[in-house]
Homo-oligomer: A and B are copies of this chain.
Amino acid sequence: MAEYRGLAGSPAWEELRRLAKAPFDLSRPGALSRERLLALRAEMAGFSLLYGTERVDGPVLAALQRLADESGAVERFLAMKRGAVINRIEGYESENRMVLHTAVRDLFRPDPCHPQATAQAQAELDKLARFLDGVASGQLVNHRGQTFTDMVLIGIGGSDLGPRALYLALQRFSLPERRVHFIANVDPDDAAQVLGGLDLSRTLVNVVSKSGSTLETLTNEELARAAFVRAGLDPGRHFLAVTGKGGPMDNPARYLASFYMFDYIGGRYSVTSMVGAVILGFALGQEAVIELLRGANGVDQAAEEPDIRGNIPLLLALLGIWNHNALGCETLAILPYSQALIRFTAHLQQCDMESNGKGIDRQGQTLSEKSGPIVWGEPGTNGQHAFYQLIHQGTTVVPVEFIGFQESQFGKDLEVQGTSSQDKLLANLLAQSLALATGQEHPNPNRRFPGNRPNCVLIGERLTPLAMGALLAIYEAKIALQGFIWNINSFDQEGVQLGKVLATRLLSHLAQHRAQPGYDGGGDEAGWAMLMAAGLV
């Protein structure tokens, strides 16, 4: 049998294309039977995936299983965890790296998949525990002997979105008098806004950049250091670094403490490394970090299951391919019914679109089938009062993944009209799933709903650090598994380079324009004209 080379040429994919001509009709009366809704449910790591409201039936699920088998997606996932060099394009210059974000949480059994990477992660965790003990015990204090109450994370992209999403998700579990803030954008208003509201003398600043050369982060670090100096404070007593060992930021003279990240973990997969662990440990304590890792590791192990009905990430990956490639939907809406997950979709937007927004396969060939979708969304019920109109009645079909929890985090609730707010939240979630699937006939055309809008519901018990780790790992695994099935490299990001090069060129024009009267762009017609059109030169 020929080596698997992606959807094109796959017999299972041919079958799926054929089946896509007449997908299961969710709007037919009785289509959503009790039998169907209870049968099309998968369980893993405390989560249930309800997928009876997807446009799938027995033949489609069988073909999706064959696609999973043909692609060897689960075997590739296992190879990834064991340290295969899969971040590469065969025959071309590329990053040529292992992909080992799973190793930093493979701490809970005697035989981790990649012992060396896990040992490195354990050493950083031990260093973090000592640091956090120092902060808690009053050994690490400011120049007046006061404890630290606030931490500012300066980072961008993977060094911002994941940590921010998880902190917002879990801040309900924070230690007393511990708060975390974030500066990401090179927009100077971002840093000014955050720093202006803090007592800098009791603030630690955690600068996160694997390369140690991220323009936005270095600029914001300088802005922050200047603010500390203006306040009469020594940045060396307040600034921490999370960076690559031996890189330009690995400089103990400038930082109170340094934590390391390694080249086998990409930014968008780094939140369970020190990139997220330092702020989460500061806010929640080391134990919560360990719970987060335990939750993620549970999924990393369970995702080795080859039966799609028992493997939520694999099933999500295949349902996504069915909706995107076979049914032709460009986007995926991820809609969490949990205010704590307010930035989780933004994190997944990065993780998914930067991983799978690719145009070539692992052999450097231009793809003939679509790779990753556009991922977007906001928490429900807010979104119901915003963009759901289009999802229900618009001319474009939007597949939806709903996320919810049976219990609230706070437990502070109030019965109004006989039901609690949490009841209302869940009832709305499930009602939206049903409404999208079944639609509604009506004599008034404006009250007709076409239905057959595919969606699924991922539901857990309560959003704890353990559950957050599992949820994160479900999506990380889903994205990697989809990449294996599309036969793309989900772990590089060459597409961000061209904009960087052109931005540097435009900055150089701006600097030269100020220094040399009459400078006219030195032959870069389009770049110079763009600056003129924008009124900058």
Q: How far is the CA of A372 from the CA of B398 in the complex (A)?
A: 13
Is the pair A459, B354 in contact by a Cβ cutoff of 8 Å?
A: no
B-contact 0/1 string along A323-351, CB 8 Å cutoff: 00000001100000111100000100110
Asked if A487 CB lies within 8 Å of chain B CBs, one says: no
The closest CB in chain B to the CB of A376 belongs to B376
Asked if A390 CB lies within 8 Å of chain B CBs, one says: yes
Q: How far is the CA of A206 from the CA of B337 in the complex (A)?
A: 24
Asked if A497 CB lies within 8 Å of chain B CBs, one says: yes
Contact segment of A127-135, A292-300, A426-434, A472-480:
A426-434
Instruction: List chain B residues, Cβ under 8 A from A231.
Output: none
CB distance from A208 to the nearest CB of B (A): 12
Is the pair B385, A431 in contact by a Cβ cutoff of 8 Å?
A: no
Asked if A109 CB lies within 8 Å of chain B CBs, one says: no
Kindly identify which residue among B41, B409, B444, B495 contacts A92, using a CB–CB cutoff of 8 Å. Answer: B444
Q: Which of A294-308 contact B (CB under 8 A)?
A: none
Instruction: List chain B residues, Cβ under 8 A from A384.
Output: 157, 496, 499
Asked if A63 CB lies within 8 Å of chain B CBs, one says: no
Kindly identify which residue among B388, B427, B498 contacts A392, using a CB–CB cutoff of 8 Å. Answer: B498
Is the pair B414, A93 in contact by a Cβ cutoff of 8 Å?
A: no
Instruction: List chain B residues, Cβ under 8 A from A337.
Output: 187
Q: How far is the CA of A331 from the CA of B397 in the complex (A)?
A: 12
Contact segment of A14-22, A96-104, A218-226:
A218-226
Q: How far is the CA of A509 from the CA of B380 in the complex (A)?
A: 21
Is the pair A156, B381 in contact by a Cβ cutoff of 8 Å?
A: yes
Q: How far is the CA of A430 from the CA of B188 in the complex (A)?
A: 18
CB distance from A397 to the nearest CB of B (A): 9
Is the pair B339, A409 in contact by a Cβ cutoff of 8 Å?
A: no
Asked if A123 CB lies within 8 Å of chain B CBs, one says: no
Instruction: List chain B residues, Cβ under 8 A from A192.
Output: 410, 412
Most chain-B Cβ atoms within 10 A of its Cβ — which of A41, A192, A427, A501?
A427
CB distance from A522 to the nearest CB of B (A): 14
Q: How far is the CA of A458 from the CA of B195 in the complex (A)?
A: 29
Is the pair A340, B535 in contact by a Cβ cutoff of 8 Å?
A: no
Instruction: List chain B residues, Cβ under 8 A from A529.
Output: 32-34, 36-38
Q: How far is the CA of A353 from the CA of B392 in the complex (A)?
A: 11
Is the pair B510, A419 in contact by a Cβ cutoff of 8 Å?
A: yes
Is the pair A406, B331 in contact by a Cβ cutoff of 8 Å?
A: no
CB distance from A228 to the nearest CB of B (A): 13
The closest CB in chain B to the CB of A216 belongs to B381
Instruction: List chain B residues, Cβ under 8 A from A435.
Output: 498-499, 502
Instruction: List chain B residues, Cβ under 8 A from A387.
Output: 349-350, 353-354, 357, 374-375
Instruction: List chain B residues, Cβ under 8 A from A425.
Output: 185-188
The closest CB in chain B to the CB of A215 belongs to B424
Instruction: List chain B residues, Cβ under 8 A from A92.
Output: 444-446
B-contact 0/1 string along A440-452, CB 8 Å cutoff: 1000111111100
Instruction: List chain B residues, Cβ under 8 A from A416.
Output: 218-219, 222
Is the pair A386, B350 in contact by a Cβ cutoff of 8 Å?
A: yes
Is the pair B353, A419 in contact by a Cβ cutoff of 8 Å?
A: no
Is the pair B366, A445 in contact by a Cβ cutoff of 8 Å?
A: yes
Tell me whether A408 and B188 are in contact in the complex, defined as CB-CB below 8 angstroms, given that A226-B414, A384-B499, A506-B430 are known contacts: yes
CB distance from A383 to the nearest CB of B (A): 9
* Apart from A430-B506, A431-B500, 9 more pairs, CB < 8 Å: A185-B382, A188-B420, A188-B425, A189-B409, A350-B385, A353-B386, A354-B389, A360-B446, A427-B503
29 intermolecular pairs with C-beta atoms under 8 Å apart? A37-B532, A38-B532, A41-B533, A48-B534, A89-B446, A185-B380, A188-B410, A188-B421, A190-B339, A226-B414, A349-B387, A353-B387, A353-B389, A354-B386, A354-B388, A358-B395, A359-B394, A359-B448, A366-B445, A367-B395, A369-B395, A390-B495, A394-B495, A426-B536, A427-B504, A427-B506, A430-B530, A434-B502, A435-B498
